[in-house]
Structure 1
Amino acid sequence: MKEMLDRMAKDLARIRKNKPLIHHITNYVVMNETANATLCIGALPIMAHAKEEVEEMVVAAGALLLNLGTLTPELVDSMILAAKKANELGIPVVLDPVGAGATALRTSASTRLFAETKVDIVRGNIAEICALIGRRAEIKGVEALSDLEGAEEVAKEMSKTKGCTTAITGKIDIVSDGTRIALIENGHSMLRTVSGTGCMATTIVAAFAAAEEDRFLAATGGLIAFGIAGEKAAQISGPRPGTFHVCLYDALAELSEEELLSRARVRFI
């Protein structure tokens, strides 16, 4: 475990040294939040959605992040074009399937992305991941209403079925590549009081993917880093969501390699 944590800490240092560009095709509701989170962890954000430029833009990226939060058919087309170009160049593709299972458009968009492109990492809640593999889970809007038992098996099945690393976030975050499993206990309940923290978590995972070739370690490192930042922010903000929101940016920006090593609460199976 120490060797893997050491590698994740080095990934954090690499992000801040190299400042990789993270190309987002993302959620209009939280675009500013994800841009700020990208900057705070040490990477650079670009939000480029038009199909006329996404292939050109992704060439310069360290990772491509696709977020289905405010989806349109035109946006799906842009995502497919960008992901195919990223695949061609060996650039990691990270998917946040917001609301998959809630509507036919979101579910079909996710299906198309997996059928027509290579997704390296998917980060979602339990209901979204269940929808992608045909399991039932309760969902309202884009929020999961239930945590299913056996989430580790869901993550493994998703990874084996779709050929990707799967990260399921909840009270305990679960990451699997179909063989390895990480159970991450970092985080805080205040993260649920601010819109877009799930999207921000995906952004941090994408930044780690730009620095780490092992997608399992990238997803695990990103979620540990974000969880620790949430804990630190809550210590300062108390039960005030607005203050917590600001403190979360500060905590991401101030997160050190030493803190990632000393505060990580993760078990590997």
Structure 2
Amino acid sequence: MKAGIPLLNEVRKTSPIVHCITNIVVANFQANGLLSLGASPIMAASIEEAADVSAFSAATLLNIGTLDSKVIGSMIAAGQSANANGHPLVLDPVGAGATTFRKQTVSTLLNELDVTLIRGNAGEIAAIAGVAWNAKGVDAGEGTANIQWAAKDVAVRHRCLVAVTGETDLVTDGEKVLQITGGHPLMSKITGMGCLLSAVAAAFLAVGKNDKLEAVAYSLAFYKKAGEWAAERTEGPGDFEVHFLNALHLLTDKDLNHASLFIQEEVF
């Protein structure tokens, strides 16, 4: 990872619009998180305007957390518009293997759209890769499959970046793998932390188009750093969310420049 890339400053300077077709559990937290970061959120799920909104947005996020058959058409329309206008498109396949409906929807979206990034937990990426894994509903669950291999396979098959987040994050383009350490266990106690991360990654992709792999890795490192910063100031899950939003607002690129968070591995 190149030190000193001021992507966070670039997000705050340009305030990219991030179009989120997302789930009802996390919409408010996601919007507040993007605002705290310095980006500009817009939530538009109606088929009548989804394509138009993605056309003027700097990035689009599709999140299937509270999946409704009526919104699938909107996701496809928004994604096609993002593709046509050259904007990054992020897919958050929440609970991809939990039900047949979710698995089929993810397959449809990946077949119909050119996704820039798939951001999920180990269970979700394993489901897309078709490898055995004991996912726990929408949570990562446990398994013995090689998730790094699964992520690379998905990246190659769908010609996109894949980020697997957890205790240690990884992001791959199918040829390289970047691993990101850090964070704090309290991050797993707040609903929507992963969903917000997908939106944050979309914002970083909007300003980091020249090196998308490093832009995603930078967003993951920033997010983990924010979790550490918030945990130092909190008593538990109740006030962690408040401190985390403050961290998104207050941290700078310099806070990342001094951290050795990236391990690059050449593969294939």
TM-score interval, smaller chain: over 0.9
Q: Which runs of 5+ in 2 are unaligned?
A: none
Distance in 1 between residues matched to 2:260 and 2:88, nearest whole Å: 25
**Aligned sequence identity (%):** 38
Which of 201, 204, 229 is 2:226 aligned to?
Answer: 229
* Contact 1:173–1:183 under 8 Å retained in 2: yes
Distance 1:65 1:250 in 2: 23
Residue matched to 2:215 = 218
Alignment counterpart, residue 3 of structure 2, candidates 2, 5, 12:
5
**What is the CA–CA distance in structure 1 between the aligned matches of 2:171 and 2:61, rounded to whole Å?**
18
Task: Specify the code of the residue in structure 1 equivalent to 2:7.
Answer: D
CA distance in 2, matches of 1:41, 1:76: 28
1:40 offset after TM fit, Å?
1.1
d(CA) in 1 for partners of 2:138, 2:162: 18
**Number of the residue aligned with 2:139:** 143
1:209/1:218 contact within 8 Å kept:
yes
Q: Structure 1 residue 218: deviation in Å?
A: 1.9
1:65–1:95: 8 Å Cα contact kept in structure 2? Answer: yes
Q: 2-side partners of 1:40 and 1:148: how far apart?
A: 37
Count the aligned residue pairs: 264
* Aligned pair partner of 2:31 in 7, 15, 35: 35
Q: Which structure has the highest helix share of the two?
A: 1
CA contact (8 A) 2:123 2:142 kept: yes
Residue 44 (structure 2) pairs with residue 48 (structure 1): yes
- Structure 2 CA distance for aligned equivalents of residues 121 and 102 of structure 1: 21
Output the TM-score relative to the length of structure 2: 0.96
1:263 aligns with 2:241: no
| 1:192 and 2:188 correspond | yes
Quote how far apart the aligned CAs of 1:147 are: 5.1
Q: For 2:195 and 2:125, locate their aligned partners in 1 and report how far apart those are by CA, in whole Å.
A: 15
Matched letter for residue 231 of structure 1: E
Cα RMSD, aligned residues only: 1.1
Which amino acid in 2 is paired with 1:190?
A: L
Aligned-pair CA distance for 1:14? 0.8
Structure 1 regions of 5+ residues with no counterpart?
none
Q: 1:152: Cα distance to partner? A: 1.6
The equivalent residue for 1:82 is 78
Given that 1:123 and 1:167 are in contact with CA atoms closer than 8 Å, whether structure 2 keeps it comes out as yes
> Structure 1: how far apart are the matches of 2:19 and 2:46?
12
